[in-house]
């Protein structure tokens, strides 16, 4: 076998391994934080009624109303399509970011942990761009199922199912709002991954080791910063992708949706659900990254946890109880 062919096979095997690790990491994170995602979607989609009031007074009130009216199962409405979609979404995001960082580190002839910020941002942007292939269909089904739980049914009417929504939307409909999804996910990844790498590096000890608390904390901080910054794009995406009911406004696109929200609800409405969104994304990514890197350690013994490029120079995660 030619050296180039052997290298290509090894590279393909590593990528498949990373995809698998990313899928498991994503599923783990979603299972833990999904109820908060339900609350976030309900808050973002609620609109002022004819009496000038909102249905929910905040995240806690929304949580209580969902449980009171729909039961605990209501908090997990739409989780099945979310789990189906999150598998390729997180797999693609984490694996592509890893490979892009490795690629640019080799191209610029530096260790991965010393990769220039602009290349780290480029790697994140590539990951965010690629993940939308899986993200958009998954999220539009999830959002429509989450919102459906808060709507009153007519006599004999049944709540929509995931397969029913997919059949109704069709392939083209599953990618409705894709520009808004890109507007959210690409900037998120541009901010999240470089900041996460920087914070982990800052927390490494003199031997290059990173404690559990440091790697988890880096994911939390990076997640809060990135998720908060792109919340307006997430609100617009939710409004564009939710199933419209009679009387709901019809948006012509991102700009029209943005103007409508600001004009009728104020600038603050662009940040609806920012707290639950931060509480969702931050721990989900912190958990997912930790599980991902943990798997990398067991699946690739030659590569230390915290590294996908250099086993000797990149910070290593210590599994302690700090």
pLDDT in tens, 279-307: 888 888 888 888 887 777 666 544 444 44
Q: Tally Cβ neighbours within 10 Å of residue 103.
A: 15
Exposure string over 284-303, b if 16+ CB within 10 A, otherwise e = bbbbbbbbbbbbbbeebeeb
Domain of residue 119, residue span? 17-150+163-296
Q: What pLDDT score does 77 carry? A: 83
Q: Given pLDDT bands bounded at 50, 70 and 90, which one contains residue 42?
A: confident
For 204-221, how does the pLDDT look when each residue is reduced to its tens digit (9 = 90+)?
Answer: 887 777 777 888 899 899
Mean of per-residue pLDDT scores for the chain? 80
Q: Tally Cβ neighbours within 10 Å of residue 2.
A: 7
Mean pLDDT of 231-259: 86
Give me the helices (H) in 46-115, please: 59-70, 79-107
Indicate the number of domains in the chain: 1
| 245, 151 Cβ separation under 8 angstroms | yes
Decide if 312 is inside a domain.
no
Query: Between residues 44 and 100, which one has the greater pLDDT?
Result: 100
Decide if 317 is inside a domain.
no
Percent with pLDDT over 90 in the chain: 24
Place of tokens 């006599």: 155
Q: What pLDDT score does 318 carry? A: 43
Give me the helices (H) in 149-211, please: 162-174, 178-202
Phi, psi of 245 (to 5 degrees): -110, 160
Tell me: pLDDT of 154 over 70: no
Q: What pLDDT score does 10 carry? A: 53
Decide if 2 is inside a domain.
no
Q: What pLDDT score does 104 carry? A: 93
Q: Tally Cβ neighbours within 10 Å of residue 138.
A: 20
Decide if 307 is inside a domain.
no
Mean pLDDT of 185-191: 93
Q: What pLDDT score does 70 carry? A: 87
Decide if 157 is inside a domain.
no
Q: Which CATH number goes with the domain that contains 234?
A: 1.50.40.10
Query: What is the rounded CA–CA span in Å between residue 24 and residue 10?
Result: 21
Query: What is the rounded CA–CA span in Å between residue 26 and residue 18?
Result: 12
Decide if 86 is inside a domain.
yes
Decide if 322 is inside a domain.
no
Decide if 284 is inside a domain.
yes
Q: What pLDDT score does 152 carry? A: 67
Q: What pLDDT score does 226 carry? A: 94
Tell me: pLDDT of 258 over 90: yes
Question: What does the DSSP assignment read for 218-265?
Answer: HHHHHHHHHHHHTHHHHHHHHHHHSPP-TT-----SHHHHHHHHHHHH
| 149, 162 Cβ separation under 8 angstroms | no
């Amino acid at each position: 076998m030619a050296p180039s062919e052997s290298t290509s096979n090894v590279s393909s095997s590593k990528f498949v391994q990373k995809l698998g690790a990313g899928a498991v990491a994503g599923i783990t994170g979603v299972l833990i934080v999904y109820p908060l995602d339900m609350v976030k979607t309900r808050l973002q989609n609620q609109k002022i009624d004819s009496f000038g009031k909102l249905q929910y007074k905040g995240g806690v009130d929304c949580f209580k109303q969902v449980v009171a009216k729909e039961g605990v199962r209501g908090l997990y409405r739409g989780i099945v399509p979310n789990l189906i979609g999150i598998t390729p979404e997180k797999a693609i995001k984490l694996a592509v970011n890893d490979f892009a960082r490795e690629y640019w580190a080799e191209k610029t002839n530096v260790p991965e942990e010393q990769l220039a910020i602009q290349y780290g941002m480029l790697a994140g942007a590539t990951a965010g761009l690629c993940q939308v292939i899986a993200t958009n269909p998954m999220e539009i089904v999830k959002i429509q199922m989450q919102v459906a739980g808060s709507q009153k049914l007519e006599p004999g009417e049944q709540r929509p199912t995931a397969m029913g929504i997919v059949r109704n939307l069709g392939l083209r409909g599953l990618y409705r709002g894709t520009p808004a999804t890109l507007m959210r996910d690409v900037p998120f990844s541009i901010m999240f991954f470089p900041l996460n790498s920087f914070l982990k590096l800052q927390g490494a000890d003199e031997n290059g080791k990173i404690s559990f608390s440091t790697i988890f904390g880096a994911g939390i901080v990076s997640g809060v910063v990135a998720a908060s910054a792109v919340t307006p794009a997430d609100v617009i995406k939710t409004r564009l992708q939710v199933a419209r009911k009679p009387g709901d406004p019809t948006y012509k696109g991102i700009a029209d949706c943005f103007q409508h929200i600001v004009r009728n609800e104020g600038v603050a409405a662009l940040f609806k659900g920012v707290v639950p969104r931060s509480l969702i994304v931050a721990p989900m990514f912190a958990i997912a990254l930790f599980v991902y890197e943990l798997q990398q350690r067991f699946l690739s013994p030659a590569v230390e946890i915290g590294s996908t490029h250099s086993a000797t120079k990149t910070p290593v995660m210590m599994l302690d109880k700090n």
